[in-house]
Amino acid sequence: MKLSPSIEALIEALRCLPGVGPKSAQRMTLTLLERDREGAALLAQALTTALERVGRCQRCRNFTELPVCEICADPRRDQALLCVVETPADVMAIEHSGSYRGVFFVLMGHLSPIDGIGPEEIGLTELASRFHEGDLAEVILATNPTVEGETTAYYIAQQARSAGVTISKIAHGVPLGGELEFTDATTLAHALSGRTRVAEQ
């Protein structure tokens, strides 16, 4: 069936959203047109505004509307403590934990030679010069516990080591409140190999 061209175009355009297939794009389109034209107009406006205003922090590469983001510019944050993460979502998760007062460096990805993503694409040249500035007390590697994340962490650790910067890595293991039985195999393997000694006989 031929649909009206602007409905077809909207269904197609919604598929740029992650996790949205043809069926849900159609449902979204019809729902917006049927019941939430105001929401659709607000969404169009919010997209346009975000695209216009959101850029990257000059210092940490995270999204911001300012030249330097609020975290990097905050005098209460410890600028000598640098946590390296893959994405802005990771920054949000760590901030949400309320247990970190240092600053971040956001790779916006991980090394993935197959996809043409090398050190340059994820800002490792900038990160290396940061290491050589000499004002870092510690670099915390918080990439994801995946093959790509671990490879990226290993690469960065080499960079930091050659610049004489102290490196640490966040602990991976069974989540607090999680049950061993329902923990996936990779996490369990990490938890086992990263075991710490509790007491000596």
Interface residue list for a copy of itself (CB under 8 A): 1-7, 9-10, 12-14, 16-19, 24, 26-34, 36-37, 39-54, 63-66, 69-70, 87-89, 91-92, 95-96, 108
Closest to a copy of itself by CB, 33 vs 157, is 33
DSSP 69: -
Chain CA centroid to CA 10, Å: 29
161 binds, among a copy of itself, Zn ion, none (CB under 5 to 8 A by kind): none
Q: Please choose which of a copy of itself, Zn ion, none residue 146 contacts, taking the beta carbon within 5 to 8 angstroms, the exact cut-off set by kind.
A: none
Residues that bind Zn ion (CB under 5 A): 57, 59-60, 69, 72
H or E element in which residue 102 lies: strand 102-106
**DSSP E strand stretches across 129-201:** 138-141, 167-169
Residues in the chain: 201
Strand 55-56 to 63-64 pairing: antiparallel
Q: Which CB, 57 or 139, lies closer to Zn ion? A: 57
For 136, the token pair is: 């870092």
Q: How far is the CB of 104 from a copy of itself (least distance, A)?
A: 11
Q: Cα dihedral angle (154, 159, 163, 166), rounded to 10 degrees?
A: -20
CB nearer a copy of itself, residue 164 or residue 175: 175
Q: How far is the CB of 68 from a copy of itself (least distance, A)?
A: 12
CA-wise closest residue to 141 among 159, 125, 121, 129: 159
**In the bound complex, what is the minimum distance in angstroms from residue 19's beta carbon to Zn ion?**
28
Q: How far is the CB of 198 from a copy of itself (least distance, A)?
A: 34
